[in-house]
């Protein structure tokens, strides 16, 4: 057995730099701002020669000037090598918490894919006048070393951070060679265990910079705002010989000259407008010497914590935010500005006002776009050591002095690069790295460097070194206990004294509402708490988008791959598919739900008026129009503009509703849409930011159930109107085969359903470590069996009584189905009554019909009810009552792992179609408590969907399946958060489903 000492010696001999915790070596320059300068620069993006080796210990002869690399491949920079070459350079790896290698810091396996890069560049002759030439790398994963003309100039780690090397002495006019060696694994990998794909390579820009004599090394224009006045505190880093330095802001008439470094002092600017996420006003500024001009965009705003309130420009901020990774299905983390701009514009259209840059600084241009379009930004350092949780945090670098400089270097590079952005209002030390002295040292450095922005880190539960109390996935009751002034319950990992201290700070949910697959639920419950308790400042949904990578299925169809699809030995499956935006940029229903809950204008009906509240931080309502419309059963009968007074941010007012005459034979609904009055950089005029509906229907009684004459036994082979029955079961309607109904208690488990319970949240029947889906399969809800007890009839009715049992349960359900002719229409009434002894919540209570294709396959639906998207008991706020149409494929969401999808709630009327032809009409009647059923229409049964791991695994079907649900279990956020709220948990109960059915 090899001793630890022997192994350490061996590792040192093979590749000492890979296990070195020093963050950078050689001619590495100090961190500074990412500036827009008129000094010469040369992009080195483009094709590079490339060779991949299986280990980190290959010979370094490739870096020698004149080395023959003609036999090498070509690879684009920026890119990830595992995303190139169709698998020739390895494959992506996805893990959430666990490391993809043994935990043995700072060592990594000898099997360490290493990419060698080479390219030539021509240095212009006029660059010989430069004081220095810098080579900048904006992002390399994970450790890299650099040679120029055969001379090693240095190396660095910190994958999502910028590094600049002074290559002045190594370059010359004319042809030059740069060589870079990149190791996939290094000591740095232990502090980059973010929930994402491991994607090695040079994935951000590479740039050569000519730094002029008398140039500007760095600029920081710190701004403040109060009562219409701005303030600039300038920090100019330049040699004394570079002065005078001139600051110009033409729009404000500012032209200020500092003739010497000692003269640089704060500058008051009268009559400025503030920057905010809603009104992102930026002023073009330049800072110039005789040799160089740097361009910046300045936004005036003051960030402060006052008591337990987080304020910008004196007003409380509510973060309606998302966690954002850099992710693209074909490029990985390679930045594309056009796509990023549209991504941010999409966020704005869905009422997202804040971004947490989980869990690293993004490409610097993204922050320019965020300033321009308007977002509150929590900028997070490139730091996470989550895998140490698997060993109870033993050996965690966060409290190891040997790693102190690694941590400090990362926060310095984070803050220095992006300090000029007004949108950044909070610095975050990183994510899920435990706690310890190194994090405290990072916080101390930030406080000393930038007193104008607070420090965040969720893992500082007791508040020893951060300014904001932050938690992830706190339940609704726990969040209320944090927000309520009178609460005294101890907080997570806190003593009573520490709990009291944390309650004096602003509270932020840095992650909540885990948006994995179909879910989450309870957006509205969290939002209600934020409105009730000022200490609660909102939070950031996990997360913005799915991280699927485009791949090809065995049958040639494209699909979006997740963990395990690339043959990884260690992976975390589809946990990387947890966004409100699907991998192909399609918004999921959860994004519409988020937008409805976080609407910036609140509308509350009260008699013949509506109370309008402007919930915005800064903007008044002059940019909005208020439109009303009246519909009868979803058909427009009137519309107009609502007269609403102009409301300042935070102000409320009243508007008079138009007179509405209820229809005598239809439902009458008044809808108010709040829309943009003019186009913005992120949405066209008419874009709706908030909607509210008022039911103005004149109530009508539900048709009573006609008592039947005495029932007589029969064989069940008969007809009722256009319906034909065999053995008591429907087999045909008119000229088309329609079979059913069958009791359906199962749904294809959502990702939340599949998540193990902690035994605390949700159902009383939760078993710690067991998912609801496991319990449903345990009890056989996916394998129901039917025993028909009897079939009876009258002259115009047919009744069946079935005992439905689950495969592995002694419990059962009695199902009574009565078919009758009522006023010439075929009516079905199903009474569902469970026995005692069911041990868990149910997924649904519904009945299923099958419609084989025949001559006219069912391909769509028209309905009057809630729509247009799917809805569930704890996710209804985005739904509105109206008339909608959709194809059968569009009724379902193409989640990366097939699961329950497509349920539409509160159905009034449904027509199944084949092209323009009506196939079947269904009119549900509310039950005795006024509850209406919902429907799901799919080409696959819940059982078939549950067996598939990817959409391409669902075979083509020749049958459509219609499920009418009396009720469904809620969605919750259990994949990484609270379970379904008890109010929306479906415990076994009796239900009635009543339908009137007509063949097309």
Catalytic machinery residues = 432, 511
Contact 520, 514 (CB under 8 A): yes
Closest by CA to 483, choosing from 457, 460, 506, is 506
Cβ 589 vs Cβ 894: under 8 Å: no
* Contact call for residues 187 and 382 (beta carbons, < 8 A): no
Q: How far apart are CA 845 and CA 840, in angstroms?
A: 14
Give the residue among 836, 840, 873, 838 at the shortest CA–CA distance from 766.
840
Which residue in the block uniquely carries the two structure tokens 């459509």?
Answer: 960
DSSP three-state, residue 923 = strand
User: Pairing state of beta strands 319-323 and 354-356?
Assistant: parallel
Query: CA 75 to CA 66: how far, in whole Å?
Result: 20
d(CA 724, CA 266) in angstroms, rounded, equals: 87
Which residues have C-beta within 8 Å of that of residue 172, sequence separation ≥ 6? Answer: 123, 149
Which tokens is 503 given?
């309650």
- Please tell me the distance from the alpha carbon of residue 408 to that of residue 417, in angstroms, as a whole number: 14
Residue written as tokens 């003309």?
149
Here the tokens at position 214 are: 């008398």
Which strands, in side-by-side order, build the sheet including 860-867?
A: 712-713, 785-794, 797-805, 812-822, 825-834, 991-999, 917-925, 909-914, 860-867, 880-887
For residue 758 the two structure tokens come to 């902690």
CB 242 within 8 A of CB 257: no
**Count of residues for the chain?**
1000
* Residue of 674, 681, 687 lying closest to 647 (CA atoms): 674
Q: Please, is 175 exposed, middle or buried when counting C-beta atoms within 10 Å of its C-beta (0-12, 13-18, 19+)?
A: exposed
How many degrees, rounded to 5, is the angle at CA 339 between CA 336 and CA 345? 135
Angle between helices 437-449 and 404-418 (to 10 degrees): 30
Please list, residue by residue across 269-289, b when 16 or more beta carbons sit within 10 angstroms of its beta carbon and e when fewer do: beebebbbbbbbbbbebbbbb
| φ, ψ dihedrals at 476, nearest 5° | -60, -45
Return the number of other C-beta atoms located less than 10 Å from residue 715's C-beta: 11
């Amino acid at each position: 057995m090899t001793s630890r000492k022997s192994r350490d010696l061996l590792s040192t001999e093979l590749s000492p730099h890979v296990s070195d915790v020093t963050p950078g070596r050689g001619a590495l320059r100090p961190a500074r701002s990412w500036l827009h300068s008129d000094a010469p620069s040369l992009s080195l993006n483009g094709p590079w020669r490339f060779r991949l080796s299986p280990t980190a210990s290959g010979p370094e002869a490739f870096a020698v000037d004149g080395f023959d690399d003609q036999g090498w491949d070509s690879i684009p920079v920026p890119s990830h090598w595992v995303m190139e070459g169709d698998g020739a350079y390895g494959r992506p790896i996805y893990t959430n918490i666990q490391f993809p290698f043994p935990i043995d810091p700072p060592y990594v396996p000898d099997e360490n894919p290493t990419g060698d890069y080479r390219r030539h560049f021509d240095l212009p002759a006029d660059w010989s006048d430069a004081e220095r030439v810098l080579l900048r790398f904006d992002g390399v994963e994970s450790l890299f070393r650099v040679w120029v003309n055969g001379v090693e100039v240095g190396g660095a780690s910190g994958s999502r951070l910028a590094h600049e090397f002074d290559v002045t002495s190594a370059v010359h006019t004319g042809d030059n060679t740069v060589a870079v060696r990149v190791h996939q694994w290094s000591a740095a990998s232990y502090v980059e265990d973010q929930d994402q794909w491991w994607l090695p390579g040079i994935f951000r820009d590479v740039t050569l910079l000519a730094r002029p004599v008398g140039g500007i090394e760095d600029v920081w224009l710190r701004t403040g705002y109060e009562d219409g006045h701005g303030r600039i505190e300038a920090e100019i880093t330049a040699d004394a010989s570079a002065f005078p330095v001139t600051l110009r802001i033409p729009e404000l008439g500012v032209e200020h000259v500092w003739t010497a470094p000692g003269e640089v002092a704060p500058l008051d600017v009268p009559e400025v407008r503030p920057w905010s996420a809603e009104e992102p006003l930026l002023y073009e500024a330049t800072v110039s010497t005789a040799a160089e001009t740097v361009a910046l965009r300045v936004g005036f705003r003051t960030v402060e914590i006052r008591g337990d309130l987080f304020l910008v420009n004196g007003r409380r901020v509510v973060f309606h935010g998302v966690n954002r990774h850099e992710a693209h299905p074909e490029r990985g983390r390679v930045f594309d500005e056009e796509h990023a701009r549209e991504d941010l514009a999409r966020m704005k259209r869905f009422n997202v006002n804040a971004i947490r840059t989980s869990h690293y600084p993004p490409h610097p241009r993204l922050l320019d776009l965020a300033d321009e379009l308007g977002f509150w930004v929590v900028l997070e350092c490139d730091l996470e050591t989550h895998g140490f949780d698997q060993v109870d945090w033993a050996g965690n670098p966060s409290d190891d002095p040997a790693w102190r400089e690694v941590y400090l270097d990362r926060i310095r590079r984070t803050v220095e690069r992006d300090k000029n952005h007004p949108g950044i209002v909070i610095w975050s030390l990183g994510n899920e790295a435990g706690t310890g002295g190194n994090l405290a040292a990072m916080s101390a450095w930030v406080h000393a460097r930038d007193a104008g922005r607070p420090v965040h880190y969720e893992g500082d539960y007791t508040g020893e070194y951060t300014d904001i109390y932050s938690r992830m996935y706190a339940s609704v009751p726990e969040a209320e206990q944090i927000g309520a002034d009178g609460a005294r319950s101890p907080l997570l990992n806190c003593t009573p004294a520490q709990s009291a201290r944390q309650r004096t700070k602003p509270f932020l949910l840095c992650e909540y509402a885990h948006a994995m697959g179909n879910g989450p639920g309870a957006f509205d419950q969290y939002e209600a708490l934020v409105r009730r308790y000022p200490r609660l400042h909102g939070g950031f949904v996990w997360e913005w988008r799915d991280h699927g990578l485009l791949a090809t299925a065995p049958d040639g169809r494209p699909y979006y791959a997740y963990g395990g699809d690339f043959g990884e030995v260690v992976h975390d499956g589809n946990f990387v598919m947890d966004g409100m935006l699907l991998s192909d940029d399609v918004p999921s229903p959860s994004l519409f739900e988020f937008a409805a809950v976080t609407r910036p204008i609140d509308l509350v009906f009260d008699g013949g008026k509506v109370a309008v509240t402007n919930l915005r931080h800064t903007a008044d309502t002059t940019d909005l129009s208020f439109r009303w419309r009246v519909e009868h059963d979803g058909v427009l009968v009137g519309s107009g503009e609502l007269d609403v007074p102009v409301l300042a941010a935070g102000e409320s007012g009243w508007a008079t509703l138009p007179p509405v005459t209820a229809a005598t034979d239809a439902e009458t609904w008044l809808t108010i849409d709040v829309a943009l009055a003019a186009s913005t950089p992120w949405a066209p005029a008419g874009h709706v930011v908030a909607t509210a509906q008022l039911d103005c229907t004149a109530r009508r009684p539900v048709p009573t159930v006609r008592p039947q004459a005495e029932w007589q036994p029969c064989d069940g082979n008969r007809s009722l109107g256009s319906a034909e029955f065999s053995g008591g079961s429907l087999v045909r309607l008119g000229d088309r085969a329609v079979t059913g109904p069958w009791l359906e208690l199962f749904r294809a488990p959502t990702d939340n359903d599949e998540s193990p319970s902690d035994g605390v949240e949700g159902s009383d029947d939760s078993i710690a470590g067991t998912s609801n889906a496991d319990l449903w399969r345990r009890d056989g809800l996916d394998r129901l069996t039917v025993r028909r007890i009897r079939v009876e009839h009258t002259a115009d009715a047919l009744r069946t009584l079935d005992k439905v049992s689950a495969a592995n349960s002694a419990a059962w359900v009695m199902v009574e189905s009565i078919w009758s002719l009522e006023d010439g229409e075929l009516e079905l009434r199903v009474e569902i009554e469970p026995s005692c002894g069911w041990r868990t919540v149910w997924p649904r209570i519904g009945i299923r019909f099958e419609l084989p294709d025949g001559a006219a396959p069912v391909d769509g639906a028209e309905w009057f009810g809630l729509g247009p998207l799917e809805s569930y008991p704890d996710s209804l706020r985005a739904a509105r009552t109206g008339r909608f149409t959709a194809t059968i494929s569009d009724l379902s969401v193409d989640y990366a792992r097939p699961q329950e999808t497509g349920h539409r709630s509160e159905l009034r009327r449904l027509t199944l179609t084949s092209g323009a032809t009506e196939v079947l009409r269904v009119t549900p009647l509310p039950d005795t408590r006024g509850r209406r059923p919902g429907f799901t229409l799919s080409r696959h049964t819940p059982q078939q969907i549950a067996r598939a791991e990817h959409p391409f695994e669902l075979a083509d079907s020749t049958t459509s399946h219609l499920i009418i649900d009396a009720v469904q279990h809620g969605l919750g956020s259990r994949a990484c958060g609270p379970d379904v709220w008890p109010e929306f948990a479906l415990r076994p109960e009796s239900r009635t489903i009543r339908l009137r059915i007509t063949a097309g």
